[in-house]
Structure 1
Amino acid sequence: MPLLAGWLWCAAPERTRLVRLVAAALALSWLGDTLPAAFTGDAAFLAMVGGFLLAQVTYVVAFWPYRHASLLRTPAVTGYVVAFGVLFGLCAPGAGGMLVPVAIYGLCLTAMAVLATGVGTLAGLGGAVFFVSDGLIALGAFADWYDPPAPGFWVMLTYLAGQALLAVGAVRAGGVTATTGATAPRSTAPE
């Protein structure tokens, strides 16, 4: 994540609000990746979820100005709502005392994925792939029946691809206005 954040910072033609917040979300994701090493058991899992929750909230704040161009107020948002509902339903029986944090995290993750669609196609795809990655983690943590081959490989593949697509999407958003999706001069891009 630090390398991806560095690439984002260098590749972006301007340090717009979107670029700054996506870089912060990448840094918080790295915190979610590394902080669990300082703990054991449930505390390690909570540290990971805490770091990633902060990252998801930061992504939501970054993408919020683009909500009018997103799927938020379209029938297509139903797909994201159904995906969250199914994932939550599959994880809820095994979540125990983590049920409320799982629900809160899942709602933030879903909001991020939906709002990312307003930034552009690549960011929207990145949000969906990141949703899949975290869904795989949730299933591994809370669904006893979930036992795919090489689960860590699939989690990391979707995690890295999702984050990379979000970063590339932020760079490509460049001079696209948050409210209309039209190309605007750099000076009027959302800050």
Structure 2
Amino acid sequence: MSFAEQLTRLQAFLDADELHEEALDYVAAHGYLTALSICSEEVPEREWIDALFAEEPHYTSDAQRTEIEATLVALKGHIARQLASEEEFDLPCELDLTDEPDDSDLRGWCIGFMEGVFLREEAWFDNSEDEVSEMLLPIMVGSGLFDEQPEFADIASDANLQDDMIVQIPEALSALFLLQHAPDEKPAVLKPRRH
């Protein structure tokens, strides 16, 4: 079975109604795996798979469980390779919150990404909290999880500003990946000054 076929089967499984209501659907799972691939701390496979589903899915067989989990691991590896390449990161959805942000795939992707961040929050903000917060901003805005906070409410109420933030997501992902995995390759401006 090709990787594309495996992904199609994974998508059908994750988007089915039978999963726990807090389980991540395919687009959210992609965001989640993207965050895990960026995080400087490796999260054990069993832990992140269990967190993704919220509770054990009802697999039809052990073979199905093995296939679904193996495809998730393969997708995570694929995302990590994409992040490490020089090419712009490709999201599995449009960079658009649409007229109904809560129903948009992009919102789901951003929420999934933030779930991945929450799994190892300390590791994310350990070394350069301000930079990471700044780079995460477009994704935080996209997720809608922080709209209660005044500064996010202001952005959410300005459609143009919100769109300007959203289109920066692929760039922010590349910057976050470099920051977490190759801090020496950060732009010279960000390097600590030696006295």
TM-score scaled by structure 1?
A: 0.33
Q: Which structure has the highest helix share of the two?
A: 1
TM-score scaled by structure 2?
A: 0.32
